[in-house]
Chains A and B, each alone.
Chain A
Amino acid sequence: MKKLILLFIILTTASQFTMAQRYLTKNGHIKFYSDGSLEKIEAHNNQVNAALDTKTGGFVFKVLMKSFVFEKALMQEHFNENYVESDKFPNATFAGKVTNLQDINFDKPGSYEATVAGKLTIHGVTKDITAQGSFDVKEDHVQGKSVFMIKLADYDISIPGAVTGKIAEEIEITVDTKLESLK
């Protein structure tokens, strides 16, 4: 996390912004959904750390993998022990920037389409990703949402043959964060 904080500071260029331009949450929500041919699986995580700098567009989030909750306890166990190996790789992180910052007015309430690009690290593997989403600017907070797909194989997450069909090769990730101004 300390490296992530340093990266966030570099991305946000400390001299140019005030504390009021930083928004963060420690309880953002991420859902992942697997639409397998034999089974639909989803898991929810309400312990997402996310931070946004509205001056520079810097956006980071960090997720504790053990905080993903599945309907089935056995699937949660397999997820942690076999697929993402959460003891070895306890967190997933994203560090990037809003690339169309000029289209978003964080001082005016409204809904704005956003494109975010950066580096996503899961299971110890880092990949460049670009995702579409939106920022819903309110009087006292910013709601950030995005839905994007990832391939498990890209992050060296291998699914045993016995459960092929139960878990899709591509997973849908939904990010939903209520970011409040850092006072």
Chain B
Amino acid sequence: MKKFKLWLLILLAAGLLGGTYVWFFVYNKPHRNIETASPDYILTAESFYTHYSNKSTPEGENYDGAVLQISGIPTSIETVDSLRIVVFAFTEGVFGDEGIRCTLLPSHHQYLKSIVPGRPVTLKGLCSGYNGTDVILEQCSIINE
């Protein structure tokens, strides 16, 4: 009986530990921290946009859902409500400029004044994909100022 109770206790403890692990690290696992994540790909803004617009992503590479570090010369900075977007425009379409739109993390809004359209900058962010006109990078951080 004593042995049975011991095994039961061990099983209960294991179940509790397992349940706690699943609760904190699976069900409630935190979102990936893009700001501290290492980039999956490093490339120039122009080549990044070209891959999408020409559907010419190198074999074995998939930028959707990946962390990208891009370098290039931004053409404008937009403010849309609480959003700050750094734009690398490469072409023009029916709906205006087309290129890469990088939405900054709120914590990086304070560094925005260091980005000047026409001067090189390096950003890192999560690629959400291509919507037919623009490639979207979100949760972007400024790597160099």
Binding site for B on A (CB under 8 A): 1-2, 4-5, 8-9, 24-27, 46-47, 49, 51, 62-64, 66-67, 72-74, 76, 80, 86-87, 90-91, 178, 182
Contacts and interface: CB of A to CB of B under 8 A. Distances in A.
8 contacts: A1-B131, A26-B133, A26-B134, A27-B78, A47-B131, A47-B136, A90-B129, A90-B131
Given A72-B28, A178-B81, A9 B130 contact: no
A76 B136 CA distance: 18
Nearest to B87: A26
A81 to B, nearest CB: 10
Interface size range of chain B in the complex: 20 to 34
Nearest to B138: A67
A149 B86 CA distance: 34
A25 B79 CA distance: 12
Nearest to A72: B28
Chief secondary structure at chain A's binding surface: mixed
Nearest to A5: B94
Contacts of A90: 64, 129-131
A45 to B, nearest CB: 9
Given A9-B94, A26-B101, A87 B64 contact: yes
Interface of B: 26-32, 64-65, 78, 80-81, 83, 85, 93-96, 101, 103, 128-134, 136, 138
A85 to B, nearest CB: 12
A80 B28 CA distance: 17
Contact of A25 (B80, B93, B130, B134): B80
A21 B27 CA distance: 48
A18 to B, nearest CB: 14
Contact of B129 (A26, A27, A66, A76): A66
A27 B46 CA distance: 22
User: Residue among A1, A63, A74, A91 with the most chain B CB within 10 A?
Assistant: A1
Contacts of B81: 27, 178
A57 B30 CA distance: 43
A67 B136 contact: yes
A178 B83 CA distance: 13
Given A27-B85, A178-B81, A66 B31 contact: no
Given A73-B30, A178-B80, 14 more contacts: A2-B132, A5-B94, A8-B94, A26-B101, A26-B133, A27-B78, A27-B81, A27-B85, A47-B101, A66-B128, A74-B28, A74-B29, A76-B31, A90-B129
A79 to B, nearest CB: 13
Given A26-B101, A91-B131, A66 B83 contact: no
Given A73-B30, A87-B64, A49 B128 contact: no
Contact of B27 (A4, A25, A72): A72
8 shortest A-B CB distances, which residue pairs?
A1-B132, A27-B80, A66-B128, A73-B31, A67-B128, A90-B129, A64-B128, A5-B94
Contacts of A76: 31
